[in-house]
Structure 1
Amino acid sequence: MAAASAAHPSGAKKTISPGVDRISLLPDEILGAVISFLPTDAAAAARTGALSRRWRHLWRSSPLDLDDRHIPGPRDCPDRAGAVSKILSEHQGPVRRLRIESIGDPDLGAWLRSPALDKLQEIDIDAPRYSDPLPLTTLRFAPGLRVARFVSCSLPGALDVVDAPAFSFPRLNQLALVSIYMRERALHGLLAGCPVLEGLLLEGCGGIDRLRINSPTLRSVAVCDRYYTKGIVVENAPRLERLIGADWPFTTPYITVISAPKLEILGSLVDDFSRFRLPSTVSQEMVADNLKMPMRSVKALHLTSCGPNLNSVVVFLKFFPCLQKLYITTSPQSAMENAYQLDPQDPIECLDHLREIVLQCYVGKETDVNFAKFFVLHAKALELMKCGVNDVCTEEWRADQYRRLQFDCRASQNAQFDFRSDFNRRIAICFHDNQTLSMADPFESSCMLCRKGWSV
């Protein structure tokens, strides 16, 4: 193989022979960025130092992601706390991300005051004991934070019913609140102090009867809560693209979308359309008008349907005429006929746009077959239908299903079917990192496994 030329960090060109360490020829800025993604432990430093002498000073000065979970020893071990203190005192570069569970550690105050954290961009505080107070020292990072996640800790002023705390996070882009009890006024005060917030994740946050979304910047809202007895109201969210939730199929709150012109991803909802409405404070005339206005922006929808119930699902199909992806999780009930007859005077416009349908908990009995067959015979743009089957799918069983679904008479000749048991799970959104807020499609089967061990 011919020798190659590359620019050395000093600027001089150098001939590279086969087997030469090309990685070490990269600029310090790139190598420092690579190192910043490695775990926070001595083993990682030793491995990188073994690659090249040049890497040794890079490790000491590169941006650091400090995660106390990567430090050996139990949470209350003095050696473990000492390791955190040593890293903060000796590391020459800035700490970019801090993830810590030792909120009750007596050394925590000293850690948070460390100059090494002056340029902190991401913070993740997970209290080992529920409602441990968030140290006020944490707020010194507010001006530079871009990502924040607070778990099980008590936020300042969270229970104040008179004066909401005055927070200011001018650069915060992503916020996750998990298992935090707070008043609605306090939550809105917090959000008001985040002028560029695009992603909001709420999981298990009690104390709020009604969640109001009123933001000019939010693009993604993920909610895993059963506490909103008065519903979720999207009052004015001009940039909101996704409103997703877990646990809603069990106690689906009333969902009201007054203004969200860019909303594309919605669910999971039960197939009870009465829960998709305006609040009682609005006149009945406005309610009637609202339900007549289709939401053409929604492209992906997830529903939970008992039966499944084709008549109930069709109501949603009419309200989302530009739907391209439909996810249905069935909850088996008594047999339903599911013999819906199309009315030319009342068309279902989305049947011209639906490209993919995913049916979870497909049994293959008459109720399921008739439900799926409706889309086989009428979805003109259908490309793929996935059916998550409870039992093992034999070739003989598949052939029988194709026959009963009248696959040869399908409306879309490009349609393909996939009967499998490995994605037969109730859709459960993973709420334990901020990926839910940015992934292209949070309802895809690859995202159905909950890392925290929820039943799926």
Structure 2
Amino acid sequence: MGSPAPPVPMDRVTEALLRVRGEDPQDQEALVGRILGYIHVVLPDPPVSRRATLRAFLPNDGVDRVSALPYALLRDIVSRLPDKDAARTAVLATRWRELWRRAPLVLVDSHFLAPAAASASTGEVARTEARRVTANVSRVLAAHPGPFRCVHLTCSYLGEFPSLLARWLQTLAVKGVQDLVLVNRPFPLALELPTALFGMRALTRLYLGLFKFPDTAGLPRTVNFPNLRELGLCSVVIFSKDMDFVLTRSPALEILCIQASLLTERLRIISRSLRCVQVVVATDLDILLAYAPHLERLIVWSVMAKERSNMRIKIAPAPALSIFGYLEPEFHTLEVGNTVIKAETRASPTTMVPTVKILGLRVRFGIGDDVKLLPAFLRCFPAVERLHIESKKTAEPTGKLNLEFWKEAGAIECIQSHIKLMMFHNFHGDQSELSFLQFILENAPMLTKLVIVYPKRTFTSVTEANSKLEPLFSAKWASTCCSLLLTEGAYAEGEEPLELQSFKRGSNFSVRDPFAFIVRV
């Protein structure tokens, strides 16, 4: 995991301010470097690559058949090349001279990095290289008349040029940029985006990283993003009112991705067009699904609670919602309609979301209060066919619950009538985990596959891992055609967050089950 270029070394003013606060500037630089790495995992890949190769076997007659292709096809070819290679096609032949200027441009600033620049993390070398990349971007933006098919800016340096970003955004707006990825290469960290952002009416996809979102108060009613279909906000400082503004003014938005919500206390989802909402590293964020008739996926990959552990997830009627997770009893308060779901809540039509087919839950099986909520949560989703459970280990277990608890919990419709697949992630072999698994096996007649995944290096051998499952084979399984697969995960516990392996799967509608990332099921 990493980014094309590390953060530019901080300026002396920022360094002095950190020292006054008693913080180590080197620690801060290392932290920002890690944040950049996480952001670049989430970002969509550029549509062109410098590593790609093009080969052709030419005939011996010397005839230039490529140049004889239709003009529209040549224009499309040039638009799919890295920017420097596209510009170089002007020397091929007379017909190619104006193609670069007339083809929709793809601009990726990491292509301007010198080979050794990506490792230059300190000193004037990094600043000089970043300034050079920034100057190259300015030249390309000025030289090409547009339109810009995709602009991917993650390595430029804007801290020393406060007015440059506004000029770039104005140029991109005028020249019709469609796909924009814009990440601040700090420092400064909270660089505010210019309001020129709101002039980009041709945008279909926008990803922003490490910026402060502009204040939307006072903007005219005519401001909107009429064509925006995908929006990603990565470590962006944005207030709830400004998030509301963006959702209201994006009538075609289908995909919303939020990584590390900053200052956003509430995400209120009101949209006729949204199909997928993904959140990763949500910090004290309430998610209120108020009105989204076409929303199919609501995915919270991970949370990070700072002050409270009752982040609210409220689900109003959601007729298209089919994938939901990860719901965590440790952090989340689930509200369906106007009912807060508690351990003693009885199932009723007003507390159910019958459209959900794929459900993810993250549970501390060593904490009794977490486990007691699990039956109530499962009753809210009576039609679940694929259940994903991630077991969270806790340093101080309290109130481990055995098989008797599950027998007394009563009927759970999704287990008794619908679940066909269950994947149990982060299996440690604890008795509380085994009790839950045994309950599933004894009460799920439709179950065809149980996949149990243990973290790398959890057990000393496969034999030891298999021995942990012996109690399950002495149980009476409700399904006569269920298979059990025990497999080791690719990472040790805490080594690689789940969301980093799966985030891009979440908004890929061709992936049926974004939670099934380990084995094909």
**TM-score range normalised by the length of the shorter chain:** 0.7 to 0.9
1:94-129 per-residue CA deviation (whole Å, 9 max, x = no partner) reads 321112244444544554444896121011222232
1:415 is the counterpart of 2:468: no
Against the structure 1 CA distance between its residues 34 and 320, is the aligned structure 2 distance closer, same or farther, given a 3 Å change threshold?
farther
Code of the residue aligned with 1:385 in structure 2: it is: L
Code of the residue aligned with 1:65 in structure 2: it is: V
Alignment gaps of 5+ in structure 1: 1-16, 448-456
Contact 2:423–2:451 under 8 Å retained in 1: yes
Q: How many angstroms does 1:238 deviate by?
A: 0.7
- Which whole-Å CA distance do the structure 1 matches of 2:74 and 2:317 have between them? 46
- Normalised to the residue count of structure 1, the TM-score between the two structures is 0.76
Alignment gaps of 5+ in structure 2: 1-55, 115-125
Aligned residue among 274, 280, 297 for 1:218: 274
Residue of structure 1 in register with 2:37 after alignment? none
Contact 2:347–2:380 under 8 Å retained in 1: no
Specify the SS of the correspondent of 1:194: coil
Identity %: 24
1:231-275 per-residue CA deviation (whole Å, 9 max, x = no partner) reads 321111111111111333754611111121111111111136981
Residue of structure 1 in register with 2:374 after alignment? 313
Aligned residue among 125, 150, 154 for 2:182: 125
Code of the residue aligned with 2:483 in structure 1: it is: A
Code of the residue aligned with 1:203 in structure 2: it is: Q
Code of the residue aligned with 1:405 in structure 2: it is: L
1:147 is the counterpart of 2:205: yes
1:150-182 per-residue CA deviation (whole Å, 9 max, x = no partner) reads 223233325x5xx56643111111112233333
Residue of structure 2 in register with 1:443 after alignment? 515
Contact 1:429–1:436 under 8 Å retained in 2: no
- Which whole-Å CA distance do the structure 2 matches of 1:319 and 1:249 have between them? 24
- Which whole-Å CA distance do the structure 2 matches of 1:111 and 1:212 have between them? 31
Q: How many angstroms does 1:403 deviate by?
A: 3.4
Residue of structure 2 in register with 1:356 after alignment? 421
Specify the SS of the correspondent of 2:135: helix
Q: What is the aligned-residue RMSD (CA, Å)? A: 4.1
Aligned residue among 181, 193, 212 for 1:134: 193
Q: How many angstroms does 1:400 deviate by?
A: 2.9
- Which whole-Å CA distance do the structure 2 matches of 1:409 and 1:432 have between them? 34
Against the structure 1 CA distance between its residues 164 and 274, is the aligned structure 2 distance closer, same or farther, given a 3 Å change threshold?
same
> Superposed, which structure 2 residues align to 1:45-60 within 5 Å?
none
- Which whole-Å CA distance do the structure 2 matches of 1:281 and 1:382 have between them? 30
1:367 is the counterpart of 2:432: yes
Q: How many angstroms does 1:347 deviate by?
A: 4.7
Code of the residue aligned with 1:238 in structure 2: it is: P
Q: How many angstroms does 1:307 deviate by?
A: 1.4
Q: How many angstroms does 1:323 deviate by?
A: 0.8
- Which whole-Å CA distance do the structure 2 matches of 1:103 and 1:316 have between them? 47
Structure (1/2) with the larger strand percentage: 1
1:86 is the counterpart of 2:127: no
Contact 1:173–1:199 under 8 Å retained in 2: yes
1:308-364 per-residue CA deviation (whole Å, 9 max, x = no partner) reads 665532222222111122121112353431335558984533443222222122122
Against the structure 1 CA distance between its residues 252 and 385, is the aligned structure 2 distance closer, same or farther, given a 3 Å change threshold?
farther
1:404 is the counterpart of 2:456: no
Query: Which 10-residue stretch deviates more, 430-439 or 50-59?
Result: 50-59
Against the structure 1 CA distance between its residues 133 and 196, is the aligned structure 2 distance closer, same or farther, given a 3 Å change threshold?
same
Q: How many angstroms does 1:392 deviate by?
A: 4.2
Residue of structure 2 in register with 1:206 after alignment? 262
- Which whole-Å CA distance do the structure 2 matches of 1:293 and 1:224 have between them? 26
Residue of structure 2 in register with 1:95 after alignment? 148
Residue of structure 2 in register with 1:10 after alignment? none
Code of the residue aligned with 2:190 in structure 1: it is: S
Residue of structure 2 in register with 1:452 after alignment? none
> Superposed, which structure 2 residues align to 1:426-437 within 5 Å?
428-430=498-500, 436-437=506-507
Aligned residue among 249, 271, 293 for 1:193: 249
Aligned residue among 287, 293, 302 for 1:232: 287
- Which whole-Å CA distance do the structure 1 matches of 2:378 and 2:68 have between them? 57
- Which whole-Å CA distance do the structure 2 matches of 1:437 and 1:363 have between them? 30
> Superposed, which structure 2 residues align to 1:26-41 within 5 Å?
29=72, 33=76, 36-41=79-84
Specify the SS of the correspondent of 1:397: helix
Contact 1:180–1:205 under 8 Å retained in 2: yes
Against the structure 1 CA distance between its residues 434 and 196, is the aligned structure 2 distance closer, same or farther, given a 3 Å change threshold?
farther
Code of the residue aligned with 2:393 in structure 1: it is: P
Contact 1:241–1:263 under 8 Å retained in 2: yes
Contact 2:301–2:498 under 8 Å retained in 1: yes
> Superposed, which structure 2 residues align to 1:57-76 within 5 Å?
61-73=102-114, 74=126
1:338 is the counterpart of 2:403: yes
- Which whole-Å CA distance do the structure 1 matches of 2:445 and 2:68 have between them? 55
Contact 2:281–2:304 under 8 Å retained in 1: no
Against the structure 1 CA distance between its residues 28 and 288, is the aligned structure 2 distance closer, same or farther, given a 3 Å change threshold?
farther
- Normalised to the residue count of structure 2, the TM-score between the two structures is 0.68
More contact order relative to length (CA 8 Å, sep ≥ 6): 2
1:301 is the counterpart of 2:359: yes
- How many residue pairs end up in the alignment? 421
Specify the SS of the correspondent of 1:417: strand
1:2-29 per-residue CA deviation (whole Å, 9 max, x = no partner) reads xxxxxxxxxxxxxxx9976999997665
Query: Which 10-residue stretch deviates more, 164-173 or 313-322?
Result: 164-173
- Which whole-Å CA distance do the structure 2 matches of 1:225 and 1:53 have between them? 53
Contact 1:60–1:91 under 8 Å retained in 2: yes
Specify the SS of the correspondent of 1:314: helix
Query: Which 10-residue stretch deviates more, 213-222 or 421-430?
Result: 421-430
- Which whole-Å CA distance do the structure 2 matches of 1:433 and 1:56 have between them? 42
- Which whole-Å CA distance do the structure 1 matches of 2:183 and 2:502 have between them? 11
1:184-208 per-residue CA deviation (whole Å, 9 max, x = no partner) reads 2222122211111111122333333
Code of the residue aligned with 2:485 in structure 1: it is: F
Against the structure 1 CA distance between its residues 321 and 79, is the aligned structure 2 distance closer, same or farther, given a 3 Å change threshold?
same
Specify the SS of the correspondent of 2:402: coil
- Which whole-Å CA distance do the structure 2 matches of 1:289 and 1:361 have between them? 29
Code of the residue aligned with 2:514 in structure 1: it is: P
Against the structure 1 CA distance between its residues 396 and 220, is the aligned structure 2 distance closer, same or farther, given a 3 Å change threshold?
same
Residue of structure 2 in register with 1:244 after alignment? 299
Specify the SS of the correspondent of 2:311: coil
Code of the residue aligned with 1:445 in structure 2: it is: F
- Which whole-Å CA distance do the structure 2 matches of 1:322 and 1:199 have between them? 25
Q: How many angstroms does 1:402 deviate by?
A: 4.9
- Which whole-Å CA distance do the structure 2 matches of 1:404 and 1:289 have between them? 31
- Which whole-Å CA distance do the structure 2 matches of 1:377 and 1:27 have between them? 66
Q: How many angstroms does 1:423 deviate by?
A: 5.8
